[in-house]
Amino acid sequence: MTTYTPRMNELNGQGETAVRETDILQTAETLRWQIGQNFHEQLMEDIYTEAARIADRAVTRAGEKPRFDMDRTIDHIVTSRVWGFPLMVLLFTVVFWLTISGANVPSGWLSYIFLDTLHPLLKEGATAIGMPWWLSGLLIDGMYLATAWVVSVMLPPMAIFFPLFTLLEDFGYLPRVAFNLDNIFRKSGAHGKQALSMMMGFGCNAAGVVATRVIDSPRERLIAIITNNFALCNGRWPTQILIASLFIGGLVPAYLAGFVSAMAVVGIAVLGVFLSFAVSWGLSRSILKGEVSTFSLELPPYRPPRIWQTIYTSVIDRTMIVLWRAITFALPAGAVIWLSANVMIGGVSIAEHLINLLNPLGLLIGLNGVILVAYIVAIPANEIVIPTVLMLTVLVTGATGVGAGAGVMFEMDGSAVRHLLDAGGWTLLTAVNLMLFSLIHNPCSTTIYTIYKETGSKKWTLIATMLPVVMGFIVTFLVAQVWRLLAG
Amino acid sequence: MTTHSAADCATCPAHHAGNLLKLGVDMSDSDYVVALAGNPNVGKSTVFNALTGLRQHTGNWPGKTVARAEGGFSYADKRYKIVDLPGTYSLLSTSKDEEIARDFILFGRPDVTIIVVDATRLERNLNLVLQVMEITDRAVIALNLIDEAKRHGLQVDERRLARDLGVPVVPMAARQGEGIPELLQAVHEVANGLAVCKPHRVKSESTAVQRALQQLVQQLTAVYPTLPNARWVALRLLDGDQRIAEAVRSGEIGALSAPENDQNADLLIPLEVAA
Amino acid sequence: MPDPLLSLIIAGFLAGLGAALFWPQRGLIPNWQKTRQLTNRVLGEDAIKHIHKCDMDGRRPTVESIAGALHISTNEAATLLDSLQTQNLLFMSKGEIHLTPAGRDTAMHIIRAHRLWERYLAEETGYAEADWHGQAEHFEHHLTPTQLTALEAQLNYPTHDPHGDPIPTATGELVEHGGQPLTTLPVDKPGQIVHLEDEPEVVYAQLVAEGLHIGMPIRVTEITPQRVRFWANGDEHVLAPIVAGNISVLPLPETTPIVPDSSDSLANLHPGETAEVLSISPACRGAERRRFLDLGILPGTRIIAEMRSPSGDPTAYIIRGATIALRRTQAEYIKIKRVQHAAS
């Protein structure tokens, strides 16, 4: 027996379905005109009313407690007019002091192991197995040395700074800092949470850029990303300290030298903070004017941090990721540095060709060709700028008895460096401008890459990279001219 | 002959492996997929870590987890994949985070959605709970920070809450590991259809809206008879949500209404053979 | 080494030159671009827009009115009309200018582009309200129908522009707001602002400066030939009748609950005080408004001011159990009623 079974498809055939779909949209469109513009609000109101009703039925309060006493007490201290700011300054001074002083020792160990012990061993081993000089130079003096340098200078401060910072974050203190400082940031068109990404930037700009994620407003987040460069990162502290103690500390009697050079470095860091505000202000009134801006800052309840887990995760999450990115950039950079000093064109190395090419520009802005070349090849990590400068200066001046050969980065103690740099034609102006340039110039390649990852935009990455470069040139140029005018 | 429809087959996975793959979740080595939703700063990442044993950093910052995290666990011989969605206050406002969370729950059709809730701020958190439950039937409430609530003199009647919401509620203190076994059991029961959820739906106060909704829902169910969340789709259309309008236009919404195996094919092939 | 003074002078000169060339709006290059964009097509479209507007308002478009609206000479306007006629966008009959169906389509497209773009600027960018109209005047000539469809979808199919004007659909349908000028609203009858005319710009700027927005409840207390006095969203305003006439309102039924007149906003709440939300100002829109709603700031919500930042600005409020800091400018959007005793 045959029974007719209508197929589902025939009941609402394909063509008919298509019509109906657009019908639905049509109906929705008409209805939207009828229910009016504030439908969304009504919806939210309905949901919240319902939520309140259900919550009311489920929750019973033992007493009348508008907010939890403990949290309240802490909040009223850390945001008080009297104690708020001093407490904040104290906490961050402690964090930075622990980082800088605490990092010296392990940095010394690492550099003893990687640079003083392992490097000569590797060279010997290479000679023993008959590796050609250019290969061992490229691999060991170039790639290995640059990477080892970055690791030994970068790892210890980060491994101290990030866990400390993370502990403050877990406790819930950081949103209060944003709360305290927001007014200043608001006036420059930024978000209070930028205070945090800036602090993080003092540890590492790449981590600072990642930290801008907590800013939920697109415009303010871009401002925070672009200006993070002006937070003087760990990688640039050594340069500042060395140059300040050699040139600026040298201006005053020995018993004041330490203090004056320390003040000079702090002055540079403060100038960086000031530039961050100034650039934020400028950006929010020019290219970022049209971006959306919203503000909301939740002050979460305090929670006791779990110390071991925090240290573990912050080392894994932040330190290792940043370190890994730095290593991937340092390896090729080491190769480039070595090659540029050893590949000869017409009897002269590429590095020297470049230095001669850039020297006029360098001198015009109160620096020199060596410094500019060092900054070009050292884009991957600010840590290797000084060793590269020293190596290149030896290369150019032909100084004998210092250094470890063309393309091999090295460090030595203060007075010898001063002699070498004097021979390279350095003046006080060069030193001051180098400090300024080191503060302002472009972020390192790790940071640039991170900016690209975070913004997903070539345009903003380019702006974040080029704006500081241009500013760096303008500032050093102006300083140099005014300096020379005044000096006669 | 077996007929598969959402109601009949409470035991078979609800998710669509194809859709999930599009959303970046590979289901080849798991039986069920679980989504983890919640407001910012309610201990969502802590719950995620407790379930998976992973150590994702859980900062005391609202809006910490920006990228989506994924992990897995096994319970009662089943393998679960768990996806940590960005913490949001709402699913209606089309910020990037909210879109990610919303799309995953709607198009990924997770077998269970765990909504982590801060017991000390229940009212605020229920806003998100009610919104999630408009989209999916299969939800479990993880009533977290119950220890904090007790310390502050708050008593939360979880049975009352479960009855009002129509889904299982598990009180827990994830930082101390309390309530994790119970949460696993609840997830297991919902995923395997041992517990049936009847989620509470919000009624609109305005009659104009009610009428508009009714009309749209009628049309939607006429075209997609088994669409599980027609009311919600209608709400989104009235709110002018372009992602949903696009899904209706392209018929993507239709894919949500049909269970994994093509209903029509199952229903008709035997009849044709008989004929 | 170049002479420092000379280098400074050269640098200063270069900077000056760069500024003269590229300065936004006033530099040579932006200026040159502007004149280049003022092509015949743009002029033609502006003319069609003007004619359409006259039709809508029941006025008669003339060569003179077109010349006036477009800031060109009468001769140029006449040439323009000729070329539009050959393009079959308009026709003359009995000395009157009329749009052809094609001309009306063009007008609809321009209006749609203009209003969608304003909506886009209002919802998805941070441009100030006073900038919207000027930018839309420019972009309305540069958006294709495909781009408009995409923009419309991106904006979740808006029905109105931020001034309350309806946005024509892609098929050219247009629903008017149906409001009446504020000057015709009887004294003490409740109404709601449905439209603020954005031309002429001077008058519109005055309305914006008064803080008036679409959706605000309004009640007139006095109408004289010299001034119109009214309450809108809790604030009292006094405007010249000619300015007030640019506000369109819809009368509300007497039974609608009206937001009580109160000019108290959350920004005035001192730490320790409690208040109940009456409304969020219609001036707060887009992402910011939605964020407020998400945070649970709705009429009836109880808010306690908890503490003020030591630097004076953001204030932390307890909103539905969470402590949330809002800036003064945001808190001003939230109209409140004070509550004496903090009830549980």
Model confidence pLDDT, tens digit, residues A40-75: 878 888 888 888 888 888 888 765 555 567 788 888
Closest of B175, B172, B196, B176 to residue B184, by C-alpha: B172
Helices (H), B111-206: 122-135, 146-151, 158-165, 180-191
A312 reaches C (C-beta below 8 A)? no
**Interhelix angle A307-314/A145-171, nearest 10 degrees:** 140
Q: Phi then psi for A344, rounded to 5 degrees?
A: -100, 135
Q: Structural domain tally of chain C?
A: 3
Q: Which residue on chain B is closest to A315 by alpha carbon? A: B57
Is residue A475 pLDDT above 90, yes or no? yes
C243 and C276 fall within a common domain: no
Peptide bond into C200 cis (omega under 30): yes
Q: How far apart are CA A163 and CA A319, in angstroms?
A: 9
C280 and C334 fall within a common domain: yes
Q: Is residue C124 part of a domain?
A: no
Q: Do B208 and A35 touch (CB under 8 A)?
A: yes
Reduced to 3 states, what is the DSSP secondary structure of residue C50?
A: helix
Would you say B15 and B27 are in contact if contact means Cβ atoms under 8 Å apart?
Answer: yes
Q: How far apart are CA B105 and CA B97, in angstroms?
A: 13
User: Which are the contacts of A158, defined by CB distance < 8 A and separation ≥ 6?
Assistant: A203, A204, A207, A234, A318, A319, A322, A323
Q: How far apart are CA C149 and CA C132, in angstroms?
A: 20
Q: Do A291 and C1 touch (CB under 8 A)?
A: no
Q: Do A481 and C8 touch (CB under 8 A)?
A: yes
Neighbours of chain A (3+ CB pairs under 8 A): B, C
Report pLDDT for C234: 66
Q: Which residue on chain B is closest to C296 by alpha carbon? A: B124
pTM recorded for the entire structure: 0.76
User: Which are the contacts of C146, defined by CB distance < 8 A and separation ≥ 6?
Assistant: none
Distance of CA C2 to the CA centre of its chain: 54
C195 and C240 fall within a common domain: yes
Q: Which residue on chain C is closest to A66 by alpha carbon? A: C344
Would you say B6 and B257 are in contact if contact means Cβ atoms under 8 Å apart?
Answer: no
Tens digit of pLDDT per residue, chain B (275 long)? 344 444 444 455 666 666 776 666 677 777 888 999 998 878 888 888 888 876 555 544 444 444 557 788 888 888 888 888 888 888 886 677 788 888 888 888 889 999 999 998 888 899 999 999 988 888 999 999 898 888 878 888 889 999 989 999 999 998 888 899 999 999 999 988 888 778 887 877 677 778 888 888 888 888 887 777 888 888 888 887 777 888 887 777 776 654 443 333 333 333 333 33
Bridge partners, B155 (sequence order): A60
Residue numbers in C near A477 (CB within 8 A): 7, 11
Q: Is residue C220 part of a domain?
A: yes
Q: Is residue C175 part of a domain?
A: no
- Which of A 291-310 lie inside 8 A of C, CB atoms? 291-301
Closest of A209, A190, A191, A213 to residue A200, by C-alpha: A209
C122 reaches A (C-beta below 8 A)? no
A173 reaches C (C-beta below 8 A)? no
What CATH number did the domain enclosing C199 receive? 2.30.30.90
A427 reaches C (C-beta below 8 A)? no
Distance of CA B270 to the CA centre of its chain: 35
Q: What percent of chain A has pLDDT over 90?
A: 14
What CATH number did the domain enclosing C48 receive? 1.10.10.10
C272 and C240 fall within a common domain: no
C173 reaches A (C-beta below 8 A)? no
> Which of C80, C99, C118 is the endpoint of a domain?
C99
Of B93, B124, B240, the CB nearest to C290: B93
C234 and C266 fall within a common domain: no
C279 and C244 fall within a common domain: no
- What is the 8-class DSSP label of residue B25? -
Report pLDDT for B262: 37
Secondary structure tally for chain B: helices H, strands E: 12, 7
Q: C187: domain range?
A: 180-251
Q: Do B89 and C295 touch (CB under 8 A)?
A: yes
Q: Is residue C202 part of a domain?
A: yes
- Name the more confident of A362 and B13: A362
Q: How far apart are CA B155 and CA B152, in angstroms?
A: 9
Tens digit of pLDDT per residue, chain C (344 long)? 678 888 888 888 998 888 888 877 677 877 787 676 667 778 888 888 888 888 877 778 888 888 888 888 888 888 888 888 888 888 888 778 888 888 888 888 888 888 888 888 887 777 777 778 878 888 888 888 888 888 887 777 777 777 777 787 766 666 666 678 888 888 877 787 877 777 777 777 777 777 777 777 788 888 888 888 887 766 778 888 888 888 888 877 665 555 555 668 899 899 989 999 988 887 777 778 888 888 888 888 899 998 999 988 899 999 888 889 999 988 988 988 888 754 44
Bridge partners, B37 (sequence order): B115
Q: Phi then psi for C128, rounded to 5 degrees?
A: -70, 155
C271 and C242 fall within a common domain: no
A169 reaches B (C-beta below 8 A)? yes
Closest of A234, A444, A435 to residue A330, by C-alpha: A444
The residue type of A388 is T
> Which of C230, C251, C272 is the endpoint of a domain?
C251
Q: Do A29 and C157 touch (CB under 8 A)?
A: yes
Is residue A183 pLDDT above 50, yes or no? yes
Q: Is residue C158 part of a domain?
A: no
End-to-end CA distance of chain A: 115
Q: Do C156 and B240 touch (CB under 8 A)?
A: yes
Q: Is residue C20 part of a domain?
A: no
Residue B224, both tokens: 């997609």
Report pLDDT for B91: 86
C247 and C292 fall within a common domain: no
Q: Is residue C16 part of a domain?
A: no
The rounded radius of gyration (Å) of the Cα atoms in chain C is 25
In order of A317, C300, C326, the CA distances from C334 in angstroms are 40, 12, 11
C244 and C266 fall within a common domain: no
Q: How far apart are CA C60 and CA C303, in angstroms?
A: 55
Q: Is B76 exposed, middle or buried (0-12, 13-18, 19+ CB in 10 A)?
A: exposed
Would you say A38 and A46 are in contact if contact means Cβ atoms under 8 Å apart?
Answer: no
Q: Is residue C1 part of a domain?
A: no
C211 and C187 fall within a common domain: yes
> Which of C251, C271, C297 is the endpoint of a domain?
C251
Query: What ipTM describes this predicted complex?
Result: 0.81
Closest of A233, A40, B125 to residue C157, by C-alpha: A40
Would you say C213 and C193 are in contact if contact means Cβ atoms under 8 Å apart?
Answer: yes
Of A35, A305, A314, the CB nearest to B212: A35
A484 reaches C (C-beta below 8 A)? yes
- Name the more confident of A308 and B161: B161
Q: Which residue on chain B is closest to C288 by alpha carbon? A: B93
Bridge partners, C100 (sequence order): none
Reduced to 3 states, what is the DSSP secondary structure of residue A113?
A: helix
